[in-house]
Amino acid sequence: MALFEIFDPKAAPRPIGIDLGTTNSLVAYVKDGRPEVIADCNADRLLPSVVFYDEHGGAVVGRAAQARAAESPRETIVSVKRCMGKGGDDPETRRLGPYAFAPPAEGEANVVRFDVRGRRLTPVEVSADILRALKQLAEDELRSVGPAVITVPAYFDDAQRQATKDAGRLAGLDVLRLLNEPTAAALAYGLDKKKDGTFCVYDLGGGTFDVTVLLLEDGVFQVKSTGGDSALGGDDMDRAVAEEIFRVADLPPERRTPAIIRAVLDTSRALKHQLTEREAASAPSPLGVGPAELTLARSRFDELIAPILERTGVACRRAMKDAGLRGEALDGVILVGGATRVPAVRAYVKKLFGKEPLADIDPDAVVAMGAALQAHLLAGEGHKDEVLLLDVLPLSLGIEVGGGVVDKILPRNTTIPTGARATYTTQEDNQTGFQIHVVQGERELVADCRSLARFTLKGIPPMAAGMARLEVRFDVDADGILSVTAKETTTGLEQHVEVVPSYGLDDDAIEAMLLDALDHGEEDLEKRRLAEGQVEAHRMVLATRKGLAADAELLAPGERELIAAAVAALEEAAAGASAAAIQSRISDLDHATRAFAERRMNAAIAKATLGQRLDAVEKTVEHAKGIDLAHAEGTRAVG
Amino acid sequence: MSPLDPFLTLGIERRFEVDLARVERQHRELSRALHPDRYVSAPPGERRAALERAVQVNEAFRVVRDPVRRAEALFALAGVPVGEDREPKAAPAFLMEVMEHREALAEAKAARDRAAIEALATAVRSREAEAERALARGLDGGADPATLVGRLGELRFYRRFLEEADAALEEWTDGSL
């Protein structure tokens, strides 16, 4: 039986969960109902998130790349996650590190670009190389890899999320969902322990800190609040130690070469690791001057990292307040992330929350395990009806109004998916377009928030100032990613919205990278589109049949025949070789099932609200059309 | 364009006074039926229809959970214009109170007087509760909503004041939760 399985050439694609970490990345899947992290041929489960680029442009990922870091510090990218979704001038690029950065060229997106042997690499491309290595690892184990869930820090903003999704797409993954890391960890814990209650996840990774408060009840994991710092983690501990080493050795700046900086950072990390078990640590000095051995006492290390811990405390207090809770109301505190192995971190968390934190699932693996569980559930393979994750928007979304002030349209900790609408009017006669600047953050001034994008609305019919009414709709999907649509309500014209991301790549840039990444460009891309179309067609046919079988009584006379014809046409197209034909039949079937889908949805609502007064149910169903913002909003004028 | 009725969306009575535990329960059950995670492999039409409704349910949840937005929704449903630039001017007595509170907070902040800020916050919190009770009595008791809009303005002010006071207190916490 086992032999048969191994040699089965048509293995069913298995969904995977990926923890794309700052320091290490992991891939996991669900085997016999339990999440399992995939190890490489050396039984290693952690793939260092390190990429070395050789002379020929080839990418080496993991331990082999790590081994090159010392001799090729500029060509070996470490901790790329910290640069995801960041602008070319971000403070992150000026921190202690060995890299050379390239400024964006005229007309190019404002993103970080590493200068590696004259090649200009974005963090999205580097991350895609890590994801490809993980995908390969999974293929070696499972033979056929299905859709993926990729985790992101809960505190990642829109640009950082979009960049992660882009990297997944570039790596050829079918990304089902971006899942917040603390929520993933909670899922792994919750399903393991089957215990309801309110939990706090304290997740200190290599480069990011997240804190999430969530309520687990009846299989629903409802995030109450989240907070954190997307540039705070174990790396900063290493930097603090490295800076101490430079300070003590009094090494002049000109001798701090990329190779020395890399070596000192590595030594610092080694010292930190030793201090987990011991009171004092020592390592050979990479400096070439002064004593041959460097030593560090745990007490001194604890002093060096105290400011980092204090920053996590600020985020924890705020998250608890947002959740309306005090420390004693928690049923447990869960530790996640390699940096929570540091004894001072554990002691700090214990003092902060007044209870002993839980760390019985490997803090390095727990996020990947949760991601695998979610991928398994989303792919429809698990006990789907029992488990649901309800996550939130981590940072408020707002729009710039007069005087550089932010008008918040969606507050942080709003359950996603969500949306809001705002109405604008023109300020000048015959104004035919205007710009909306969307920002993310909690501060009052635009300058203190993170700029996400500028949306340009065009094609407003010429009218007197103040006459046009533009309704702009902001939608945040279940991945926490924003999209904007607009319409002019006096004429009902849909407006064209042109998006210029402040710190991201646009679709054209991603498309170009995709082409670049494939050996035979266009030809390969067409093949890939065909394969993707076939998968989608297959999925759609199956789902449609399932729906027809489940809710046959909701069909109108003659509807079944119409749908069946559209299904047959799609199946025929899927057997062919044209991606465009498949897309066209998909859209036909979509059209044929639209009314049926609406009826099924209303039935689902009615079923969910059973137990309430029957007339209310009917009203709800009737009402469940169109979306509107309940609290009335004033009309904003934007120049 | 008619305003959405978040109470109807959640299947609860249209009142200012709500049972939050019940709201949470309704939200959870509706999410169970509509969340996009449930429709990952559904045909695109169902995915869209579910997403649209899930968004609507979450919006309704956000509105109903929050007293200010809840009151705004009730006024809008009753046809009373709301939104800070569309409401009548606040009463002089209330504006007086606002000024006094603001001055006291500014002084306490300048003096870094934690106890004074906490005392102010406590006083304002009880004023906030009072405004909420008045809204509940009026809106749920059939009073003319137009006569109650002023209370909404008060509620907004108290909220903002408490946020500011909290922010000041947050700066000097002692390290415990």
Q: What pLDDT, in 10s, does the model give residues A337-348?
A: 999 999 999 999
Between CA B137 and CA B140 the distance in angstroms is 6
Structure confidence at residue B176 (pLDDT): 47
Contacts of A314 in chain B (CB under 8 A): 170
CA distance to partner chain B, nearest, from residue A258 (Å): 38
In the annotation, is A362 catalytic?
no
* Backbone φ, ψ for residue A207 (5° rounding): -135, 0
Structure confidence at residue B175 (pLDDT): 46
Structure confidence at residue A10 (pLDDT): 59
Scanning A193-252 for CB atoms below 8 A from B yields 217-218, 220, 222
Residue of A nearest to B56 (CA): A627
* Backbone φ, ψ for residue A328 (5° rounding): -70, -15
Contact state of B43 with A628 under an 8 Å Cβ cutoff = no
Q: Which of A19, A158, A238, A266 is catalytic?
A: A19
Contact state of A540 with B84 under an 8 Å Cβ cutoff = no
pLDDT category at B172 given cuts 50, 70, 90 is low
pLDDT tens, A189-215?
A: 887 677 789 999 999 998 899 999 999
Between CA A118 and CA A208 the distance in angstroms is 29
Give me the domains of chain A, ranges plus CATH numbers.
2-193+366-383 (3.30.420.40), 397-507+630-637 (2.60.34.10), 518-608 (1.20.1270.10)
Structure confidence at residue A382 (pLDDT): 58
Contacts of A389 in chain B (CB under 8 A): 37
**Amino acid (1-letter code) at residue A529:** R
CA distance to partner chain B, nearest, from residue A253 (Å): 36
pLDDT tens, A122-145?
A: 999 999 999 999 999 999 999 899
Note the CATH number of domain B6-65.
1.10.287.110
Contacts of B62 in chain A (CB under 8 A): 411, 414-415, 418
In the annotation, is A157 catalytic?
no
CA distance to partner chain A, nearest, from residue B46 (Å): 5
CA distance to partner chain A, nearest, from residue B114 (Å): 17
Alpha-carbon dihedral B144, B147, B148, B150, rounded to 10 degrees: 160
What does the pLDDT average to over A75-102?
85
Residue of B nearest to A413 (CA): B62
Interface A–B counts its CB contacts (< 8 A) at: 190
Contacts of A354 in chain B (CB under 8 A): 176-177
In the annotation, is A19 catalytic?
yes
Neighbouring-strand partners of residue A420: A474
Scanning A602-621 for CB atoms below 8 A from B yields 604-605, 607-609, 612, 616-617, 619-620
Q: Which of A125, A157, A203, A244 is catalytic?
A: A203
Between CA A367 and CA A388 the distance in angstroms is 17
- Residue A251 in tokens: 């090494």
Beta-strand relationship, A14-20 and A293-297: unpaired
Structure confidence at residue A624 (pLDDT): 41
Contact state of A609 with B29 under an 8 Å Cβ cutoff = yes
Mean pLDDT of chain A: 86
Question: Would an 8 Å CB–CB cutoff place A459 in contact with chain B?
Answer: no
Question: Would an 8 Å CB–CB cutoff place A448 in contact with chain B?
Answer: no
Contact state of B84 with A601 under an 8 Å Cβ cutoff = no
Between CA B50 and CA B31 the distance in angstroms is 10
pLDDT category at A221 given cuts 50, 70, 90 is very high
Q: Are A222 and A390 in contact (CB under 8 A)?
A: yes
Q: At what angle do helices B44-65 and B20-34 cross, to 10 degrees?
A: 170
A306 pLDDT above the threshold of 70? yes
Between CA A101 and CA A85 the distance in angstroms is 15
Q: Are B134 and B16 in contact (CB under 8 A)?
A: no
Between CA B70 and CA A630 the distance in angstroms is 9
What does the pLDDT average to over A623-633?
36
Contact state of B41 with A542 under an 8 Å Cβ cutoff = yes
- Residue A416 in tokens: 């996603």
pLDDT tens, A444-483?
A: 889 889 998 888 888 778 888 878 888 888 899 999 999 8
- Residue A311 in tokens: 């920053």
Between CA A54 and CA A22 the distance in angstroms is 22
DSSP A270-324: HHHHHHHH-SEEEEE-SSSSS-SEEEEEHHHHHHHHHHHHHHHHHHHHHHHHHTT
CA distance to partner chain B, nearest, from residue A309 (Å): 11
pLDDT tens, A580-611?
A: 999 999 999 999 998 998 898 888 888 877 65
Neighbouring-strand partners of residue A180: A152
In the annotation, is A619 catalytic?
no
Q: Is A258 exposed, middle or buried (0-12, 13-18, 19+ CB in 10 A)?
A: middle
* Backbone φ, ψ for residue A281 (5° rounding): -130, 155
Helix (H) or strand (E) holding B47, with range, is helix B44-65
Question: Would an 8 Å CB–CB cutoff place A352 in contact with chain B?
Answer: yes
Between CA A322 and CA A142 the distance in angstroms is 42
- Residue A515 in tokens: 């082409």
pLDDT tens, A568-578?
A: 999 999 999 89
Q: Could you state, in order of their start, the residue ranges of all structural domains in chain B?
A: 6-65, 92-171
The side-by-side arrangement of strands in the sheet containing A482-488 is A493-494, A482-488, A469-476, A418-425, A635-637
Q: What's the half-sphere exposure (Cβ side, CA atoms, 13 Å) at A245?
A: 35
Q: Are A201 and A517 in contact (CB under 8 A)?
A: no
Superfamily the domain B92-171 falls into: HscB, C-terminal domain (1.20.1280.20)
B171 pLDDT above the threshold of 50? yes
Q: What's the half-sphere exposure (Cβ side, CA atoms, 13 Å) at A397?
A: 29
